[in-house]
Structure formats: structure tokens, C-alpha cells
Structure 1
């Protein structure tokens, strides 16, 4: 799916040939699939009542890192969507993917018996 997202981003809506636009179009089906996966894993987790820091063991940390990279990619794509050069579904996919990676990071921590670190703001 990331290859499909990249193809969509690399094919400007304003200047690409129709044949390229057809090949790189991005539907909402992968987004809906991610949302189903998010729900599936979220149901197995304790409710989130506070902000957590990237933590929870090696697997969880790797997933948190992947989520951060995904958010960075999303921030780069949003201006292209606003300019009308990229399909909005590509940005929506990245947004849902980062949420999925967050849920998976929490799930991995739970399955490995690792504790998540709750964010506590320092008081001045």
C-alpha cells in the first residue's frame, strides 16, 4: 500500500496523463481496512486515559518510531492535497496508518508484558 501511496503522490493531478492518473488512483478501501484493524486491536487494549510516551519494549518502540515517520510523511503530503495535486485518500491513508501503528505499539507492549510510560507534565 505504501508503494501505491507513493505512486499517487508522485503523479500530480494537474499535469499527469489520464492513463497515469488511472493507474495511481487511490480508493478509500485501504483506509476502511485500517480502521477495522484499529478497532480490532483497540478492543483488546485497556482504555487510554492519559498521554503515553513511546515506550513498552523494543517491538513497541520500533512501532512508535514507524508511527513518527508516518506522521512526518503525512505532514509533507497535506500541503500537496491542499494544492490539489494529490488525492486526499493518500493523506487519509497515512493518517490512519499512523493511528494503526500507535495501537499496534500499545498492543505489542501489552503482549510482551511491558509497561507503557505515562506522560506527566513537569510543574514549574
Structure 2
């Protein structure tokens, strides 16, 4: 692949607009740019989680790394779809892959009987942070979809990804031998 970015700054966005891959210029607060930014933030948070998983150097977590690492590439694909409205990279097979992992991990975890809070370990908390960011990216994409209907599997992918990340947080806790933090309701006012 040749050099795609010969110059990092262009000064073309200084007035509050940015260019899309199809040549359109839109305000930086446009729902498409918001959606692209939310997906990018999710990918960055996922990179942080993966760095932590790699630093843990635990054979018990290798499966999690193997599942999450390709997702960074799929999120980059989704960013491409958002930047180039006619481009399609994701398909239903990617959504099904996430569902298969969710089902497999849930079998090991068993049913959830309580609400849980983010935390218990740094890695569990990072997985929950990614889950929350996935929900945010989904909301931003749904907001764009309300104005400019989105084609393809991207919305389904984000929805399933947030589910996967929730299960991943629980799976990481199980593999680390960390107790999940159960939600404790406030006492009812007297």
C-alpha cells in the first residue's frame, strides 16, 4: 500500500468543516462526523483494552484477545462505510460471528442473576468502558440513520458488539478469578 497521508495537516478544517471520502464538505458537528468520531473513540478504547489484555500475558485471556483483535479492523471498516456512504465492508456474517462468541461465552458464564457494575479489575472496567462506548457509537449511528438511512450491517454490528463487550467483561472477570461487583439498591426512604 502506498503512502496515503503525505501531509497530516491540511488546514481545510479550520473553518469548522471536514471533507468526506465522497468529496462532500460537511460541518464537523454533522451527524455523520459524530458517528465516525464515536466509532473511532470506540476503536481507541478497544485498543486500550487489548493493550491491557496483552500486558496481562495470561493464557486464560488469549481467547478474548483472539476475539477482540479483529474487531478493531471491522470498526475501521465501519468508519470507512460512514466516510464513504456507498462503500460496504461489513456483512451479516460478521454479526453472526459476534453472536456465536456471545453464545459460547454465555454457556461458560451461566445466567446473570443480578445487575453488575463496571469494575472488579482494570480489564473488566475497560471492557465495560468499551461496552458503553459501543452503545454511544450505536446511538450516534442511529441518529445519522434517522437523517440519512444507513445500508448494510453496521447498525446490527454495533448493537451486537455492545452485547459482546458486556459478556466479555464478565468472561474476563471469570478468567481472572475476579468477583463481579453486584449492584446494591439504595435503601428505600423512610
**Normalised-by-shorter TM-score class:** 0.7 to 0.9
**Match for 2:110 among 38, 46, 49?**
46
Aligned to 1:117: 181
Task: Classify 1:88/1:82 alpha carbon distance in 2 versus 1 (closer, same or farther; 3 Å).
Answer: farther
**What is the root-mean-square deviation of aligned Cα atoms in Å?**
1.5
Task: Classify 1:42/1:10 alpha carbon distance in 2 versus 1 (closer, same or farther; 3 Å).
Answer: same
Residue 110 (structure 1) shift: 0.9
Residue 4 (structure 1) shift: 1.2
Q: Does residue 106 in structure 1 map to residue 143 in structure 2?
A: no
Q: Does residue 86 in structure 1 map to residue 150 in structure 2?
A: yes
Provide the TM-score with structure 1 as the length reference.
0.84
Count matched residues. Answer: 115
Return the alpha-carbon distance in structure 2 between the equivalents of residues 11 and 29 of structure 1: 21
Residue 89 (structure 1) shift: 1.8
Structure 1, 91-100 or 2-11: larger mean CA deviation: 2-11
Provide the TM-score with structure 2 as the length reference.
0.56
Structure 1, 41-50 or 87-96: larger mean CA deviation: 87-96
Residue 103 (structure 1) shift: 0.5
* Structure 2: unaligned runs, 5 residues or longer: 1-73
Structure 1 runs of 4+ off > 6 angstroms?
A: none
Return the alpha-carbon distance in structure 1 between the equivalents of residues 90 and 173 of structure 2: 32
Return the alpha-carbon distance in structure 1 between the equivalents of residues 82 and 153 of structure 2: 11
Residue 32 (structure 1) shift: 0.6
Aligned to 1:18: none
Residue-by-residue CA offset, 1:79-116 (whole Å, 9 max, x unaligned): 22233432252111011111111101101101111111
* Structure 1: unaligned runs, 5 residues or longer: 13-20
